[in-house]
Amino acid sequence: RCLLDTFKHTDEEFLKQASSQKPAWKDGSTATCVLAVDNILYIANLGDSRAILCRYNEESQKHAALSLSKEHNPTQYEERMRIQKAGGNVRDGRVLGVLEVSRSIGDGQYKRCGVTSVPDIRRCQLTPNDRFILLACDGLFKVFTPEEAVNFILSCLESLPLMVFGEVSWKEVMLLGSALHC
């Protein structure tokens, strides 16, 4: 519930701020966030930003890129139906032929057309084989597959001192990872 409320509040505050500007902002954003409670992750996202978990598979001895989020675009049946029910339409795979996502923060001019700030929320139990989580927007995934992105990050992490992996928790590694620029 806290994630739903947070996304709603963020959207409302953004729209309030946007409308008070001269000229009014017409921008919006996708969003993906992760809430960690003990060894359980709650992943909330809207739009086309994504969360990818890197998990080591002992059987194959390879790392896998596991999607923890769902992209929202107006070409998906449920998204298109919501948009049409609200009086909007989908042209050329976009809301009103313009907006590429069907859920966002902001984008006030499309709210009446069914674009919503309600995120998709998923739950993931962490395992000892989990290495890191990648949060990124569509710009990354238009260039790299999730597997390519995970492999690139793994190569960056391999260049870190060995003590990092033996002496800190996964939370500390994830925080350290947010500061890496490979």
Residue-wise pLDDT tens digits, 141-157: 999 999 999 999 898 88
Cα Rg, the chain, nearest whole Å: 18
Q: What is the arithmetic mean of pLDDT over 83-92?
A: 96
Is the full-model pTM beyond 0.85?
no
Q: What is the arithmetic mean of pLDDT over 98-110?
A: 96
Confidence of residue 163 (pLDDT cuts 50, 70, 90): very low
Q: Is residue 95 in some structural domain?
A: no
Instruction: Give me the number of domains the chain comprises.
Output: 1
Rounded Cα–Cα distance for residues 169 and 128 (Å): 11
106 strand-pairing partners? 28
Which residue range(s) make up the domain with 112? 2-72+103-176
Q: Is residue 88 in some structural domain?
A: no
Provide the residue count of the chain: 182
CATH number at residue 116: 3.60.40.10
CA torsion sign, 133 to 134 to 137 to 143?
negative
First to last CA, the chain: 36
Asked if residue 168 has pLDDT above 60, the reply is no
Q: Is residue 85 in some structural domain?
A: no
Q: What is the arithmetic mean of pLDDT over 34-60?
A: 95
Q: Is residue 182 in some structural domain?
A: no
Q: Which residues contact 120 (CB under 8 A, 6 or more apart)?
A: 44, 45, 46, 69, 70, 72, 103
Q: What is the arithmetic mean of pLDDT over 22-40?
A: 92
Q: Is residue 39 in some structural domain?
A: yes
